[in-house]
Amino acid sequence: MELSPRWRKLAGDLRNARGRLSMMVLAMAVGMFGIAAILSAYTILTREIGRNYLGTNPASALIEVDQVTDELVDAVRHRPGIANAESGTSLWARVEVKPDEWMPLLLFVVKDFRAMKIGMVRPESGAYPPPEGSMLLERTGLPLVNGKFGDGIRVQTPNGPKRKIVISGLVHDPGLAPSWQEQTAYGYITLSTLALLGESGTLDTLKVTVSDPSPNVVAIERTVAGLAGWLRQQGYSVGEIRIPPPGKHPHETQMRAVLAMLILFSLMALVLSAVLTASTIGGMLAQQVRQIGIMKAIGARSSQIAGIYLALVVLMGGVAVVLGLPPGIAAGRGLARAIAELLNLTLYSEAVPGWVYLVQLIAGLLVPFLIALGPILRATRITVREAINDYGTSIRTFRSSRLDALLGKIRGMDRTLLLSIRNTFRRRGRLMLTLGLLSAAGAMFMTALNVRAAWERNLADAASDRRYDLEIRLNGPHPEEKVLAIVSSVPGVQKVESWDIDPAAANRHDGLEIARTYPDRGHGSFTLRSAPPGSRMIQLTMLGGRWLPPGDSDAVVLNHMALRIFPGVKVGDTIHISVQGRQTAFHVVGIAREIVTPAAAYTSPEGFHRALGRSGQTNAVRVVMKGHDEKTIGAVTREIERALERERISVKIDFSETRLDNALSGHIYILIFALILMSAIMAVVGVLGLASAMGTTVVERTREFGVMRAIGGRTGTVMRNVIGEGVFIGLMSWGIAIVLSLPLSAGVGRLVGTLAFYFPLPLVLSPAAMIIWLTVIFLGSTAASAYPASRASRLTVRETLAYT
Amino acid sequence: MTAKPLISMNRVFKNYETPSGSFAALRGIDLEVQEGEYVAVVGRSGSGKSTLINVLTGIDSPSSGEIHVASTAVHNLGEEELAKWRGKNVGVIFQFFQLLPTLTVAENVMLPMDFCNTFPPGERRPRAMALLEKMGIAEQADKLPSDLSGGQQQRAAIARALANDPPLLVADEPTGNLDSRTSEDVVRFFSSLVNEGKTVVMVTHERDMTRYFTRTVMLEDGAIVEETEAKAWS
Ligand SMILES: Nc1ncnc2c1ncn2[C@@H]1O[C@H](COP(=O)(O)OP(=O)(O)O)[C@@H](O)[C@H]1O
Ligand SMILES: [Mg+2]
């Protein structure tokens, strides 16, 4: 069937303005792409993170008891509110990754791999359960231990010798952050293998799940406290209780927050591209006033005319959806895969739920429709007389006289440039829109790089707060003087101090120690540390109060992470800390910022003695070396370990600065990447917007150019005029972007810093970001205006003056 | 004359609000036009001719007074009703900017039938072709307006004005842009339409063609100063 004339008109308009319209479609497609990518990544990840984590049936609580027998497990299963119970234990060991180079290894001891019901792991490859004398490795650890599946690898437990054991299989434990991120390997062994490694094989951890299907922390705490009370009545001594946030993967909050932020940004890009489209349609309408008038004169109603233009908008939106959605979903899957890898998740399905497609389809069609509706209705309501009479066109007058006057006063200014600048301000609405888009893109780009710089500054600050090269933790306390003497006698060691440490918990009325720690023992831990008086090994920024006064056994300084364990505590308050079952009151004298260190309370050796009843002994030392490069540190570390070993002092773990850096950098790059991706999307939309605005300007100013040419202006003059305007807008947006990036960087830095360090990132401006963006914007705006400019300058004078 | 007039304008005023105060473009127009008349509206530039045509076709609304065309009280209609009414009952022809540039000539002629949904879709093109044939430009049907000469464009516009077979044709200086020979062709063609029973009101400067008109209405400063009944040559 033949198209009716009014749709033929639509087709004709499409053909006529195909350059500008396809740019708009592209802009919207890019917007659709962004939102489709982020939204599908969000839906895939939030579903799969739950599937992964809840699929392990994570423990509601882990309770340390002297010994967990099968009878006890059975009895606990019948306690009120308890769904299931299981025994287990975990211990810190270390694994040799290169000759004489060791990495922390957290060993999970499993009583019966086949009967595992709580905190399960999923076999990936190799043997399951592990044969005696072998170990299963969490899959993300394999590249770190430089091991191959089936290889023997040396492992050392606190009380045992170094022993070679075989990696007999790989498992996936979705409840753990990847090994490369934490710089810790995770192993799974049976009790008999534990005995082989030289440890007395007792299971001291009771893993329980509660029967409440959707419990909160408070409910779990109540149930578990009840259970602990009962255990005590039975004569067990109850140690630390760990209750991780229920049902929540250790990194879920971070992931959701970051994705939510990205959704917000991509939504912004979509709306801006739709606004851009609406304004292009608006420009088209302005050019077609007479046509609208004619149509009305021969009997068209406003609604019929509006219908034509709205159909155009919907058509463009539809094409944008078709172009943007499939690659967007594909990119979303890619993003989900990248983030899954970061979080050690397995994507069992990459299906994007139907509602996502539906929402996008509606958004792609409806958002531009709604935004264009106003301008279209306004334009089509114009009366025939307004449209046809010449009076109609003169209504629109330019009002920028004050600026004009100001510009006129600047002497020696190039006339063409003056004309460009003046022209820029003629169309405020369009200018605002283009500026808004470009500035938003620039602000986002600079924010991405600023946040990265802030992250690095933060880590550098953290590193400079810690003025030592190595921390060694020993298995159990040893005579302090002896340890210090051994270490300081090692060549290359400049200074060594004792920094005794012990896991602690905030005190409860019932005397239970309840921590918020995940089974990996890192996320959420809290320790009490003895700080040598007058030590210069840490120099923290005080957020309140002051550092420890020498000799005061009552005083503690909390780091900012510890505030999460003692919410609302202020300098001057008294807190109760429980260590090894003993409770001690301390007076808070200061609160310090301490980046990348878990919650800790610092006290004097006297205070530590008061809390633990231990003095003259230590289980941790910090060392300053004569050289600070990675190689020297590595070599001296090995020497120290050998020296300690000769004296039968076994090393639990060592932390060097370089390893900490590696552990942390992995967290941020995906976020930076996503931000840059979003800013690229915005930049494309913005440059397209600029190109379209310049195109419209050229059409509108065709006569003016004709006159310019007629009075002797040359092609170059016209070109320069248009490109000058485009570049001027671009440069303006750059300035605005810098200003906008300040609050945005601060906000994103706060979000990221709080998520990663529980402390906002500092506001750091990256000069490189500004320069890169300046280059991008300069090239982009030149390109965006060169095409319309060259078209304008190719028109002959006769053509320009005949243009209607 | 006993027949009910096709057009009757009663004390029609039109004031324009301008920055320098209210300006009266029409001052109490009383005009009746019978069916089958061919009325020429003449007058100096700025005398109010276009304003008169505009209020007559509902393109503009009068400040006061009444305008009836057939049984329709034009002054009472809203914008949307006016568009619909105009599409079916009045063929409007302007001096410039007549045809939509992106549509072919035939499509331009079909446009009013499309907007007013007057003829079944299948009949529209044949009808448009017949009208173009009548105007002598059938060969141009599938060209774009920009490929036509001024006279051909004006004929196409007339064909379009006839698309919905309206009883009344109103034209504002349709010959203003044409050379004298083409102008005469156009004026003569309207006359043949009048012979077929249409009524035509037309603004013109063509003083020497009065013989074609049944009546000439002369405007001065927004008022009718002289009406000359043509010699009964027809
Ligand atoms: N929209 C308007 N606003 C103000 N004055 C107008 C407007 N339209 C027409 N006029 C004035 O009304 C008078 C009559 O105009 P018009 O009907 O166009 O005259 P004609 O068609 O006879 O040349 C003129 O003086 C003109 O300046
Ligand atoms: Mg006129």
Q: For A361-382, what is the mean pLDDT?
A: 85
Dump pLDDT digits (tens) for B16-34: 888 888 899 999 999 999 9
Residue A412, pLDDT score: 56
Q: For B142-169, what is the mean pLDDT?
A: 91
Dump pLDDT digits (tens) for A66-114: 888 888 999 999 988 889 999 988 888 888 887 777 788 889 999 889 8
Q: In chain B, whose CA is at the least distance from the CA of A294?
A: B98
> Rounded to a whole number, what is the distance in Å from the CA of A744 to chain B's nearest CA?
47
Asked whether residue A516 carries a pLDDT value surpassing 70, the answer given is no
Instruction: Give B-chain residues touching A16 at CB under 8 angstroms.
Output: 102
Nearest CA to ligand 1 atom 6: B16
pLDDT band at B234 (very low <50, low <70, confident <90, very high): very low
Q: Select from B79, B87, B97 the Cβ nearest to the Cβ of A298.
A: B87
Dump pLDDT digits (tens) for A9-37: 888 888 887 877 888 888 888 888 988 99
Residue A651, pLDDT score: 81
* Residue A641 lies inside a defined structural domain of this protein: no
Tokens of A490: 């090692």
Atom of ligand 1 nearest to the CA of B52: 17
* Residue A22 lies inside a defined structural domain of this protein: yes
Q: Indicate whether A343 and A228 sit together in one domain.
A: no
Instruction: Give B-chain residues touching A385 at CB under 8 angstroms.
Output: 54, 59-60
Dump pLDDT digits (tens) for A386-422: 776 644 333 333 444 555 556 556 555 566 666 666 6
- Please check whether residue A619 is in contact with residue A589, taking contact to mean a CB–CB distance below 8 angstroms: no
**Interface contact B57, partner A, CB < 8 A:** yes
CA distance A278 to A260: 27
More confident residue, A524 or A270: A270
Check if B22 has its Cβ closer than 6 Å to any atom of ligand 1: no
Check if B112 has its Cβ closer than 6 Å to any atom of ligand 1: no
Check if B54 has its Cβ closer than 6 Å to any atom of ligand 1: no
For residue B131, the one-letter residue type is: L
> Is B115–A299 a contact, with Cβ atoms under 8 angstroms apart?
yes
Dump pLDDT digits (tens) for A721-738: 788 888 988 999 999 999
Check if B214 has its Cβ closer than 6 Å to any atom of ligand 1: no
Q: For A313-318, what is the mean pLDDT?
A: 89
* Residue A652 lies inside a defined structural domain of this protein: no
Q: Indicate whether A620 and A475 sit together in one domain.
A: yes
Residue B231, pLDDT score: 47
Asked whether residue B233 carries a pLDDT value surpassing 60, the answer given is no
Q: Indicate whether A388 and A374 sit together in one domain.
A: yes
Residue A218, pLDDT score: 83
C-alpha of residue A733 to centroid of ligand 2, in Å: 47
Residue A420, pLDDT score: 61
Candidates A471, A485, A804; CA nearest to A655 is A471
B173: region left, alpha or beta (phi > 0 left; psi from -120 to 50 alpha): left
Average pLDDT, chain B: 87
More confident residue, A693 or A51: A51
What are residue A791's phi and psi, to 5 degrees?
A: -65, -45
Asked whether residue A138 carries a pLDDT value surpassing 90, the answer given is yes
Q: Indicate whether A459 and A523 sit together in one domain.
A: no
**Residue A156 Cα distances to A153, A651, B78, angstroms:** 10, 9, 93
Give, for ligand 1, the residue of B23, B59, B94, B218 to mutate: max count of ligand atoms closer than 8 Å to Cβ.
Answer: B23
Candidates B25, B73, B12, B38; CA nearest to B220 is B25
* Residue A485 lies inside a defined structural domain of this protein: yes
Asked whether residue A755 carries a pLDDT value surpassing 80, the answer given is no
Asked whether residue B97 carries a pLDDT value surpassing 80, the answer given is no
Dump pLDDT digits (tens) for A535-587: 888 888 899 999 998 888 899 999 988 887 787 788 999 998 888 878 889 99
Residue A466, pLDDT score: 80
Residue B102, pLDDT score: 85
Q: Indicate whether A554 and A692 sit together in one domain.
A: no
pTM comes to 0.74
Q: For B34-61, what is the mean pLDDT?
A: 90
- Please check whether residue A586 is in contact with residue A612, taking contact to mean a CB–CB distance below 8 angstroms: no
Of the listed ligands, the closest to the CA of B54 is 1
**Whole-complex ipTM:** 0.85
Q: Indicate whether A386 and A403 sit together in one domain.
A: no
Q: Does domain B38-61+79-232 have CATH number 3.40.50.1820?
A: no
- Please check whether residue B137 is in contact with residue B155, taking contact to mean a CB–CB distance below 8 angstroms: yes
Q: In chain A, whose CA is at the least distance from the CA of B82?
A: A299
Q: Where are the domains of chain B?
A: 38-61+79-232
Residue A432, pLDDT score: 79
**Interface contact B103, partner A, CB < 8 A:** yes
Residue A421, pLDDT score: 62
Dump pLDDT digits (tens) for A665-691: 655 666 677 777 777 877 787 788 778
More confident residue, A351 or A371: A351
Atom of ligand 1 nearest to the CA of A385: 1
- Is A437 exposed, middle or buried (CB count within 10 Å of its CB: 0-12, 13-18, 19+)? buried
- Is B202 exposed, middle or buried (CB count within 10 Å of its CB: 0-12, 13-18, 19+)? buried
Candidates A106, A85, A87, A86; CA nearest to A95 is A106
Dump pLDDT digits (tens) for A429-479: 667 777 887 888 888 889 888 988 888 888 788 777 888 888 888 888 999
- Is B57 exposed, middle or buried (CB count within 10 Å of its CB: 0-12, 13-18, 19+)? buried
Give the domain range for residue A482. 470-626
Count of CB atoms within 10 A of residue B181's CB? 8
Count of CB atoms within 10 A of residue B187's CB? 24
CA distance A240 to A505: 8
Residue A630, pLDDT score: 80
Candidates B95, B190, B93; CA nearest to B135 is B190
Tokens of A164: 């070679």
A331's CB contacts (< 8 A; 6+ apart) are A33, A36, A37
Domain boundary, last residue among A395, A429, A458: A395
Asked whether residue A125 carries a pLDDT value surpassing 50, the answer given is yes
| Centroid of chain to Cα A753 | 9
Residue A215, pLDDT score: 74
Tokens of B30: 């009383």
Largest distance between two CA atoms of chain B: 53
Q: In chain A, whose CA is at the least distance from the CA of B158?
A: A298
Q: Indicate whether A594 and A701 sit together in one domain.
A: no
Q: Which of B115, B123, B162 to mutate to test the interface with A (most CBs of A within 10 A)?
A: B115
Asked whether residue A155 carries a pLDDT value surpassing 80, the answer given is yes
C-alpha of residue A654 to centroid of ligand 1, in Å: 93
The per-residue b/e assignment along B204-218, b for 16 or more CB within 10 angstroms, e otherwise, is: bbbeebbebbbbbbb
3-state SS, one letter per residue, for A473-526: EEEEEEEHHHHHHHHHCCCCEEEEEECCEEEEEECCCCCCEEECCCCCCCCCCE
Q: Indicate whether A51 and A195 sit together in one domain.
A: no
pLDDT band at A244 (very low <50, low <70, confident <90, very high): confident
pLDDT band at B12 (very low <50, low <70, confident <90, very high): very high
Instruction: Give B-chain residues touching A290 at CB under 8 angstroms.
Output: 97
CA distance A690 to A459: 39
**Interface contact A12, partner B, CB < 8 A:** yes
Check if B47 has its Cβ closer than 6 Å to any atom of ligand 1: yes
pLDDT band at A321 (very low <50, low <70, confident <90, very high): very high
Instruction: Give first-to-last CA distance, chain A, whole Å.
Output: 33
For residue B95, the one-letter residue type is: Q
Asked whether residue A658 carries a pLDDT value surpassing 60, the answer given is no
Atom of ligand 1 nearest to the CA of B47: 22
Q: Choose the most confident range, by mean pLDDT, from A277-281, A558-562, A602-606, B210-214.
A: A602-606
C-alpha of residue A391 to centroid of ligand 1, in Å: 9
Name the domain count of chain A.
4
Q: Indicate whether A427 and A481 sit together in one domain.
A: no
Residue B38, pLDDT score: 93
Interchain CB contacts (distance < 8 Å): A and B: 95
Check if B14 has its Cβ closer than 6 Å to any atom of ligand 1: no
Rg (C-alpha) for chain B, rounded Å, is 17
The percent of residues above 90 in pLDDT, for chain A, comes to 24
Tokens of A708: 């310019």
